[in-house]
Homo-oligomer: A and B are copies of this chain.
Amino acid sequence: MNFMRMLEAAWARNDSLVCVGLDPEPGRFPAKFANDPDAIFHFCAAIVDACADLVCCFKPQFAHFAAQRAEAALERLIAHIHAQHPGVPVILDAKRGDIGSTAAHYAAEAFDRYGADAVTVNPYLGRDSVQPFLDRTDRGVILLCRTSNPGARDLQDLFVDGRPLYQHVATLAAREWNANGNCALVVGATYPAELAAVRALVGDLPILVPGVGAQGGDVAAVVHNGKNSCGTGLMVSSSRAILYAGSGVDFAAAARRAAQALRDEINRYR
């Protein structure tokens, strides 16, 4: 399946711009998982099953699995999403970036080993480091542009030819790297003015927007500044505020309520 078409279909089918980020932290899991040797998979699969009809995509965060030695659980989780919820795309949030010959191995890791439909990629190494991902025309390549963290300003806001570096990246992605139509961008919800500037530069290109929920980004500003000409174009990502909405036996229902509330709030502003 083609990532961009899956995403467009999921936006429409679920009437949702919500991306649920899967950032497992075993210390925050409900007590029922305390003695479960496969807790990471079971917790994430329960969240996925509770929210799949409310989202446009899921986004497992690689570091949270890798730090727990849980690559096998990550493989099974992505396979579970594809098997149980066909049509919901999976973004592997791994922020890869390496020289061309090594980037090919990272593309194989994300798309072949894990079976992700899209992957986040760091643009600092330039075109040939992104090319092995771009060449997979059925997969999405989501480039870091203006991230949601305070340190984003250290490099991304530096002025280059009269405009910030992140705008240069946005233009590179939209005008030069998107020949296969499979590029998207990451712009943090915590910087709505920057989101508007990027939207103005990139036409209808999809934008992954982390930073609502626990990081405090404003939903109204994100939708107003980030939506495209179709009223979509956004993957508004929330992780902790949904995953850990409840801590009891009803954690999955609590996650569903939180995802639904975010979907409805976003839709009020579309």
Contact = CB atoms under 8 A, between A and B. Distances in A.
Interface of A: 23, 61, 63-64, 66-67, 69, 71, 95-100, 102-103, 105-106, 108-109, 112-113, 122-131, 144, 147-156, 158-161, 165, 168-169, 172, 210
Contacts of A128: 149-151
The 7 closest A-B pairs by CB, nearest first: A126-B151, A126-B154, A63-B105, A128-B151, A99-B149, A67-B105, A127-B151
Number of copies: 2
Nearest to A240: B101
Contact of A69 (B113, B122, B127, B147): B113
Contacts of A97: 95, 97, 122, 124
Contact of A66 (B100, B106, B153, B159): B106
A159 B155 CA distance: 12
Contacts of A123: 124, 154-155
16 contacts: A64-B105, A95-B97, A99-B147, A99-B149, A124-B124, A125-B144, A126-B149, A126-B151, A126-B154, A129-B151, A130-B151, A154-B172, A155-B165, A158-B160, A160-B160, A165-B165
A182 B186 CA distance: 30
User: What's the dominant secondary structure at chain A's contact region?
Assistant: helix
Given A66-B113, A95-B96, A155-B168, 8 more contacts: A66-B109, A95-B98, A122-B125, A123-B155, A126-B149, A126-B152, A158-B160, A159-B160
B149 A109 contact: no
Contacts of A154: 123, 126-127, 172
Contact of A122 (B63, B124, B131): B124
A84 to B, nearest CB: 23
B66 A149 contact: no
